[in-house]
Amino acid sequence: MAVTKQLRISGHVQGVGFRHCLAREARAHGLAGWVRNRRDGSVEALLQGDAAAVDKLITWARRGPPAARVDCVEVQAEPGETRYSGFEQKPTE
């Protein structure tokens, strides 16, 4: 079953390769969506795909890459009206 989840990851998550690593993990799990830095220092991501694969990526996001320190991962279910065909890194918003 396909799901869409939006994540907001806070802590020391910018300048440590978090977006790049999250995008690589998402593609490896066959997920679609996007990831971007936020001006407040957090990272935001939208994940779309198989529920088990989304859950695996959320688990990964709670650790992040080795240089990151993740304090909090907020997860919200999204209606998923927009369908994404790949996974991209978006510019900071």
pLDDT in tens, 38-71: 999 999 999 999 999 999 999 999 999 999 999 9
For the chain, the 3-state helix, strand and coil shares in percent, each to the nearest 5, are: 25, 40, 35
- Give residue limits of the domains in the chain: 2-82
Residue 78's pLDDT is what?
83
Domain covering 2-82: architecture: 2-Layer Sandwich (3.30)
Q: Is 8 a catalytic residue?
A: no
- pLDDT tens per residue across span 2-46: 899 999 999 999 999 999 999 999 999 999 999 999 999 999 999
| Whether the model pTM is above 0.85 | yes
Position 35 scores a pLDDT of 98
Q: Which of 8, 24, 27, 37 is catalytic?
A: 37
Q: Count CB atoms within 10 A of the CB of residue 6.
A: 15
Of the residues 19, 24, 62, 69, only one is catalytic, namely 19
**Cα distance between residue 60 and residue 84, in whole Å:** 21
Q: Is 36 a catalytic residue?
A: no
In DSSP terms, which residues pair with 73 in a beta bridge? 9
